[in-house]
């Protein structure tokens, strides 16, 4: 059973960079069995897909966030990361990491989520 | 982007009754090559992460009670909960994984009447 755990600062100042890491256990990112995904949910709102990264380093980012998003993967640590630059209050959300079955599949395993608040 | 639209936005159903949530995509999420529908349903309870219930439009994830069923193809899909239980109170989302960017419906809030 794959388990995911997000970590990172819960508070980020406006214009700074939000950085989160997702540690994966119970499965190997290097297996190539899934895409490593990020999804966010503003308080009281719905789910927004941010993008995903494959173990090879290939990425796809949502066009609405593409200019500000970078994802990376560290197969030696079995974890992947999200960087979101120039944050504003609109980026305040619970951020989830999840796995999507490769080559195509639903989001089958999710982390518990971490709330990131953008505020000075 | 493929737009996913759910109806209704909220729903109140009596215990033991049937709940139906609809999801419509702005274009087909079915591949001609394999005839599969790239559509998933998730359940999100308060304070929890979403949980995958159904994928390929009608395949229940392991461990999901059989009162949950999915149907539909092309652009129109339905999640049915037969015999609503108290623990089914949640927000339900549909999502397409036919194309990138992946997109979700706005969610349907299911309550007990």
Average pLDDT score over residue span A7-17? 98
Say if strands B59-60 and B108-112 run parallel, antiparallel, or are unpaired: unpaired
pLDDT digits (tens, 9 = 90+) for B29-45: 998 888 899 999 999 99
Give dist(CA B2, CA B10) in Å, integer: 22
**CB proximity A111 to B under 8 Å:** yes
pLDDT digits (tens, 9 = 90+) for A62-81: 999 999 999 999 999 999 99
Give dist(CA A86, CA B89) in Å, integer: 37
Does the pLDDT value for residue B108 go beyond 90? yes
- Per-residue pLDDT, A114: 98
**CB proximity B1 to A under 8 Å:** yes
Q: Mark which residues 8-37 of A lie under 8 Å from B by CB.
A: 37
Query: Which residue in the set B49, B102, B106 is minimally distant from A113, CB to CB?
Result: B49
């Amino acid at each position: 059973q794959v388990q995911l755990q997000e970590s990172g600062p819960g508070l980020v100042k406006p214009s700074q960079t939000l950085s989160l890491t997702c540690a994966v256990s119970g499965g190997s990112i290097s297996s190539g069995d899934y895409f490593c995904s990020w999804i966010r949910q503003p308080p009281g709102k719905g789910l927004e897909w941010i993008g995903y990264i494959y173990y090879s380093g290939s990425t796809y980012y949502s066009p609405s966030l593409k200019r500000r998003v970078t994802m990376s993967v560290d197969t030696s640590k079995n974890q992947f990361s999200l960087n979101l630059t120039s944050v504003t209050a609109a980026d305040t959300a619970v951020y989830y990491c999840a796995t999507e079955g490769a080559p195509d599949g639903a989001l089958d395993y999710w982390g518990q989520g971490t709330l990131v608040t953008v505020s000075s | 982007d493929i737009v996913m639209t759910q109806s209704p936005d909220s729903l109140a159903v009596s215990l033991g009754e049937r709940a139906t949530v609809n999801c419509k995509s702005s274009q087909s999420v079915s591949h001609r090559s394999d005839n599969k529908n790239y559509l998933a349903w998730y359940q999100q309870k308060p304070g929890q992460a979403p949980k995958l219930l159904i994928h390929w439009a009608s395949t229940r994830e392991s461990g999901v009670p059989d009162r949950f069923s999915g149907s539909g193809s092309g652009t129109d899909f339905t999640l049915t909960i037969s015999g609503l239980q108290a623990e089914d109170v949640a927000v339900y989302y549909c999502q397409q994984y036919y194309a990138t960017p992946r997109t979700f419906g706005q969610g349907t809030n299911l309550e007990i009447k």
